[in-house]
Amino acid sequence: MRGFSEACERNKEPILKQLRALFDDRTAVLEIGSGSGQHALHLAEALSYLRWQPSEVACGLDTLTHNLSLAPLGNLSPPICVDVASAVWPEVVVDAVFSANTLHIIVWEEVEQFFAGVGRVLSGGGKLAVYGPFRYQGAYTSDSNAQFDRWLQQRDGRSGIRDFEAVDRLAAAQGLRLQADLAMPANNQLLLWQK
């Protein structure tokens, strides 16, 4: 597998445990930022009632396509190119969006565009689940998250762990209301909004 992620291997089971309940009434999911495809493969296999649509930016699409071809699944669609910075996303019919470990990597303007794009993709009742680290009222949930944030900003000063309140405002502007804020292993959260 190209671009194998140890973090994905560690967090895929805890994410699956939560999505089993959170997405039990869903039929089709768009995953934003599928990366190596490890989550897509694991979640699509375990949640076989869902049609899983992986996506990645253009420069990562070849790796994702290769990795997904290693274990073809009937409910796993061929990956598509989704660049959150674009005002136009591919047309997909889904009732859920999932994204893991993306909001702290992309720049803030792309975080804003992420929520705007999700707002366009999801119709009433649609769900958005986002996994990753967040700050609350400007405070880190752990010392390790503070260290991770410093590392992120040294690598790219425009990235970093986002404030929950700021992303929740972006979600609310798209008609998404917070339904759950779940503590996850390794000082991460799984946030669920519904339109």
Is the pLDDT at 92 greater than 90? The verdict is yes
> In angstroms, what CA-CA distances link 57 with 34, 48, 81, 134, 169?
9, 25, 5, 23, 25
Helix runs in 36-77, H state only:
38-46, 61-69
Distance CA 61, CA 63 (A): 6
Distance CA 77, CA 69 (A): 11
In the prediction, which pLDDT does 4 show? 81
* 135 SS3 class: strand
Distance CA 129, CA 145 (A): 20
5 pLDDT band, cuts 50/70/90, is confident
Q: How far is C-alpha 108 from the geometric centre of its chain's CA atoms?
A: 15
* Tens digits of residue pLDDT in 52-76: 999 999 999 999 999 999 988 999 9
131 pLDDT band, cuts 50/70/90, is very high
Which CATH class name applies to 6-194?
alpha beta
Is the pLDDT at 50 greater than 90? The verdict is yes
The answer to which of 3-17, 66-80, 155-169 has the lowest mean pLDDT is 3-17
Burial 117-131 (b: 16+ CB within 10 A, else e): bbbebbeeebbbbbb
Q: How far is C-alpha 37 from the geometric centre of its chain's CA atoms?
A: 12
Helix runs in 23-155, H state only:
38-46, 61-69, 108-121, 143-155
Distance CA 136, CA 93 (A): 33
Is the pLDDT at 140 greater than 80? The verdict is yes
